[in-house]
Structure 1
């Protein structure tokens, strides 16, 4: 892009008009027998070119009339045609072919009539007339080519926009079809299996109570976990079947308001867990709330599976403009023998990265494993103030 391309169109049009006016003023000054009328006609006809882009018919009429006055009085030759040529080009470029043709004929006929008494058809006048005709034809052809080129570029741009819109629609349609396929698969497989687990656990609990026996804690945990799994699976299926593909449908999914139930369920499996809530509790963005819950859920699941006999400490810290969740365990993981990252840790990292946060998941120096996620809060809305002396939740303690 050149330096002039960065100028506003009005500035460039004004510069063109000034340059033409200055050039013709020099011609007027060098032509004998000119007067104030000639200067006024040249300046008016030239400066009218400032409107060639926005109102091409205005400079076409003004420049043709003014330059005919100048040509009839001073007989300057081809230079008097410059403003008219530019106006003809602008009119044809804008699609006004008939007015441009009439203006060309009027100017050429007027110039010829002025020079006719002194015409020497074997000499300079014939050459001048032929030159002017060629200039006007060239201006018209150039403007026509420019107009067609501009129309082609606009059509190409429209086709590109239409093609992009079509690709986006196809991508959305394919994504919607894939979501529906996944929803059907989840419904036909997981929903059936979880329902059987839930029913069988419920029957076992009912029979145990009917016989007056103590219900095993593991059986109650299975019953509660299957109920939670069904609830979350239904919420997931609603999201997948949402035609807009919006995550807003996940509003009813799990969040930190269900943290107590999550930890109690982990305790029912034999995991010793403590929970500490620090800072001023506030309403969280839905995405942050879900991510925090899922990170704690996955971390506790990993402790139960890979760190048998370990205890877990969950900490949720509402720290200014970010939410910090941390789960520490005192299991067997060491820096010399770190656990192999699995799908769970990968899912944590993806959730945190999508929110623009930071995740640290690694063995602790004193042994065990730590998961720490720092999730930014865009617009924290305090619900209630809690003092630092009351940072521990009722769940704090070891089961």
Structure 2
């Protein structure tokens, strides 16, 4: 699904380049003095807009220089400013207000000599200055709006996670209460029945009497009931995960997080303790990404090997290697789980940006 979103964004960027280039070139076609060099400059200035998501400042520089060279060479109309206008808007949207203002000034300075009269020059320059001012303002407004939307989504995700944790905590407390009630009431009663039946059978055999079948049935049934009760209490007191890593990723995507799951190697059954650890590690890593990574893409990878299982959760968020995070309760609990299984854990910012959680769990006796 995330790949589909990326493809749609890329198509939208290409459509933007084509539309802007077509408008400027159509306007240039009406000018008899337009040369091949002018068309190349228009193409470069427009094509640069395709990379505004990844490198807005580079796009701003290329579009401004190409557009300025075009207006200095050909003295075109106002439509020539359209690529630079788009680059200024996207740069301001990315937070580079100073660069956007500087690029606007460079293009306006290059555009000043154009125009048959002084009045025409002033009028066109004032109009362009208003356009560029609007581009900077709308870019900043868009940036603030996107930040507001991200904060709203994060609060919604946090609220949902808090509700789920509260529901799980209440369910766990209720299971423990039921387990205590069963242990305090049924365990005592069944133990008494089992003990009395065992004493009666022993006395009957000691006296050489035939043990009644009903008494033997009571002894067997009480022993079986005790085993079943112990099994039930273990289930009630256990903290088994209610899902799989794939379900966690699906829930994260439904909550607005761009997450993918990749499984490599030959998938094989693992011990229950290791299965719980895998689930909790992926759960905690996705939770941290949703809370701290910002609008990032998260990659979850499970690598099955002959002697171990490696869980890797990476994101391309806002984590900075120069500012390592302070381990909280989640990371501490994750490390304790991995250590208890004789595994290794690395959790910290990546050199290329973002955050990585990598846990290696053995599948042998240690696992």
TM-score (norm 2): 0.61
Are positions 1:8 and 2:8 aligned together?
yes
Partner of 1:109: 109
CA deviation digits over 1:257-278, x for unaligned, max 9?
A: xxxxxxxxxxxxxxxxxxxxxx
Partners of 1:49 and 1:193 lie apart in 2 by 79
Change (3 A) 1:200 1:11: same
Alignment partner of 1:76: what SS?
coil
Alignment partner of 2:91: what SS?
helix
Alignment partner of 2:95: what SS?
coil
> How far has the Cα of 1:167 moved from its partner?
1.6
CA deviation digits over 1:303-343, x for unaligned, max 9?
A: xxxxxxxxxxxxxxxxxxxxxxxxxxxxxxxxxxxxxxxxx
Are positions 1:59 and 2:59 aligned together?
yes
Partners of 1:246 and 1:6 lie apart in 2 by 31
Change (3 A) 1:246 1:92: closer
CA deviation digits over 1:226-253, x for unaligned, max 9?
A: 1111111111111111133679xxxxxx
Partners of 2:80 and 2:239 lie apart in 1 by 68
CA deviation digits over 1:140-195, x for unaligned, max 9?
A: 11111111111111122222222222222212211111111111100110011111
Are positions 1:169 and 2:165 aligned together?
yes
Partners of 1:56 and 1:16 lie apart in 2 by 15
The aligned runs of 1:1-399 (5 Å cut-off) are 8-112=8-112, 114-115=113-114, 118-121=116-119, 124-244=120-240
Change (3 A) 1:246 1:195: farther
Q: Contact conserved, 1:92 with 1:144, CA < 8 A, in 2?
A: yes
> How far has the Cα of 1:6 moved from its partner?
9.5
Partners of 1:131 and 1:18 lie apart in 2 by 25
Partner of 2:298: none
Partners of 1:204 and 1:233 lie apart in 2 by 23
Partners of 1:100 and 1:6 lie apart in 2 by 26
Q: Single out whichever of 205-214 and 215-224 deviates more from structure 2.
A: 205-214
Change (3 A) 1:232 1:93: same
Alignment partner of 1:213: what SS?
coil
Q: Where do 5+ consecutive residues of structure 2 fail to align?
A: 244-367
Alignment partner of 2:199: what SS?
helix
Change (3 A) 1:47 1:6: closer
Partners of 1:137 and 1:159 lie apart in 2 by 33
Partners of 2:146 and 2:207 lie apart in 1 by 88
Change (3 A) 1:135 1:186: same
CA deviation digits over 1:348-398, x for unaligned, max 9?
A: xxxxxxxxxxxxxxxxxxxxxxxxxxxxxxxxxxxxxxxxxxxxxxxxxxx
TM-score (norm 1): 0.56
Q: Contact conserved, 1:176 with 1:245, CA < 8 A, in 2?
A: no
Alignment partner of 2:118: what SS?
coil
What RMSD, in angstroms, separates the aligned Cα atoms of the two structures? 2.3
Q: Which has more radius of gyration?
A: 1
Change (3 A) 1:6 1:49: closer
Query: Number of residues paired by the alignment?
Result: 240
